């Protein structure tokens, strides 16, 4: 019996992930012709076409769909067996980590994180990816190493670790009428507001709380990020409602006060795929992130790691 070529498992994993010979070849650093030859061998070994032409695209056969998760698990286990052990030399580590986070988080925490990394691992680089959405495919594929933010619906296999809790506050320009005196719900609702929503929604939880009091605020504009909201509030009489910790630098010189209606606290977490659980460099990155985000009052959240459910 001919011994199986286990390198073909890596090729099959790439092909079933990409559904494309060209993209799989690019992922593996091989030529398209080499991938085509490997696909021919895989078809011969499995007795199945695996990927078939549908117009200009390739689509998996039922057998390929059946194999996809099993092949991915085998490849990940093999990578875990062959990866370095628990020790990593941070002084010589050359690696670029990709982190998806919103603009406010990057503005508040990235400089401190980079300073910590430069002292410990001077050849490590960070790439902060824009947070256009919360799709988890980039974590699953390895395109992202970490995502930082408030957890909504996510993949059940992902790992989550809380970093800190935040709360919403209201912010106005220096000299704004609300910078003096008690800010009641009535005074608060009498001024124009800025809504922050990536989906462009003008209404939210604050409006529900005001409605319960028989009040309604005028949302004058909708923006997609908290720094943008603060820029507008700084130059107008509009009110911005933003997370307190994540906007510390952005609201310098402005006046902040508690939102005069109840709002929910936010738990900001870091999220990653379990393939990186035992990777010592990734574990070091996660610990560095946790230290940088630890609350200034010393009351850190317990670093419990859990699956997203």
Average pLDDT over residues 63-85: 82
pTM of the model: 0.65
- For residues 161 and 215, membership in a common domain is answered with no
Q: Residue 257 is part of a domain; what is its CATH number?
A: 3.40.190.10
217 with 191, same domain?
yes
Please choose, from the candidates 47, 102, 70, the residue with its C-alpha nearest in 3D space to the C-alpha of residue 226: 102
Q: Which two tokens stand for residue 23?
A: 């993209």
Among 56, 82, 108, the domain boundary falls at 82
Give per-residue pLDDT as tens, 283-301.
999 999 999 998 765 444 5
Say whether both 279 and 130 belong to one domain: yes
What does the pLDDT read at residue 153? 60
User: Rounded to whole angstroms, how far apart are CA atoms 174 and 254?
Assistant: 5
Distance CA 39, CA 261 (A): 61
SS3 letters across 170-197: EEECCCCHHHCCCCCHHHHHCCEEEEEC
Of 139, 170, 294, 302, nearest in space to 233 by CA: 170
- The reply to whether 255 and 235 lie within a common domain is yes
User: Distance between terminal CA atoms of the chain?
Assistant: 45
CA separation for the pair 228, 247 (Å, rounded)? 11
Q: How far apart are CA 50 and CA 151, in angstroms?
A: 36
Residue 1 maps to a domain: no
Note whether residue 2 is domain-resident: no
- 212 burial level (CB within 10 Å; 0-12, 13-18, 19+): exposed
Domain annotation covers residue 42: yes
- DSSP symbol at 237: S
Q: Which of 190, 71, 212 lies closest to 60, judged by CA?
A: 71
Give the separation between CA 17 and CA 47, rounded to whole angstroms. 20
Residues 154 and 282 in one domain: yes
Q: What's CA 258's distance to the chain center, in Å? A: 28
Residues 271 and 162 in one domain: yes
77 and 29 in a single domain? The answer is: yes
Give domain status of residue 23, yes or no: yes
User: Which domain, by its residues, includes 286?
Assistant: 95-166+267-307
> What is residue 50's predicted lDDT score, i.e. its pLDDT?
93
**How long is the chain?**
309
Instruction: Count how many domains the chain has.
Output: 3
Contacts of 45 (CB under 8 A, 6+ apart): 4, 8
Q: For the purposes of burial, counting CB atoms within 10 Å of the CB of 151, is it exposed (0-12), middle (13-18) or buried (19 or more)? A: middle
pLDDT class for 126, splitting at 50, 70, 90? Answer: very high
Report how far residue 282's alpha carbon sits from residue 287's, in angstroms, rounded to the nearest whole number: 9
Same-domain status, 149 and 282? yes
| Same domain, residue pair 126 and 158 | yes
Identify whether 87 is part of a domain.
no
pLDDT tier, 110 (very low <50, low <70, confident <90, very high otherwise): very high
Chosen domain end from 82, 103, 134? 82
- From CA 72, how far away is CA 69, in angstroms rounded? 5
Question: Are 103 and 50 members of one domain?
Answer: no
* 232-279: pLDDT as tens digits: 999 999 999 999 999 988 899 999 999 999 998 999 999 999 989 888
Q: Which of 49, 82, 115 is the last residue of a domain?
A: 82
Whether 36 and 64 map to the same domain: the answer is yes
155: confidence class by pLDDT, cuts 50, 70, 90: low
Asked if 13 and 122 sit in the same domain, the reply is: no
């Amino acid at each position: 019996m001919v011994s199986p070529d286990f390198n073909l498992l890596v090729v099959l994993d790439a092909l079933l992930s990409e559904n494309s010979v060209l993209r799989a070849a690019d992922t593996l650093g091989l030529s398209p012709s080499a991938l085509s030859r490997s696909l021919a061998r895989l078809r011969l070994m499995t007795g199945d076409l695996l990927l078939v032409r549908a117009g200009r695209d390739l689509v998996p056969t039922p057998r390929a769909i059946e194999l996809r998760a099993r092949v991915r698990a085998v490849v990940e286990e093999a990578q875990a067996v062959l990866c370095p052990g628990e020790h990593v030399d941070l002084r010589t580590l050359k690696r670029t980590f990709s982190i998806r986070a919103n603009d406010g988080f990057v503005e508040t925490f990235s400089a401190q994180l980079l300073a910590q990394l430069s002292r410990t691992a001077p050849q490590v680089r960070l790439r902060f990816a824009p947070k256009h959405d919360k799709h988890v495919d980039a974590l699953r594929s390895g395109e992202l190493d970490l995502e930082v933010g408030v957890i909504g619906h996510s993949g059940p296999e992902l790992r989550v670790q809380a970093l800190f809790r935040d709360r919403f506050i209201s912010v106005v320009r220096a000299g704004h009428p609300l910078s003096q005196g008690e800010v009641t719900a009535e005074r608060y609702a009498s001024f124009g507001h800025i809504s922050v929503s990536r989906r462009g929604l003008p209404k939210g939880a604050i409006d529900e709380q005001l409605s319960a009091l028989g009040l309604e605020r005028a949302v004058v504009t909708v923006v997609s990020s908290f720094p943008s909201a603060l820029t507008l509030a700084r130059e107008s009489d509009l009110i911005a409602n933003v997370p307190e910790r994540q906007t510390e630098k952005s609201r310098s010189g402005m006046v902040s006060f508690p939102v005069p209606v109840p709002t929910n606290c936010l738990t900001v977490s870091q999220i990653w795929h379990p393939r990186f659980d035992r990777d010592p460099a990734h574990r070091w990155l996660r610990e560095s992130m946790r230290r940088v985000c630890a609350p200034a009052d010393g009351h850190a959240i317990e670093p419990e790691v859990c699956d997203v459910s």
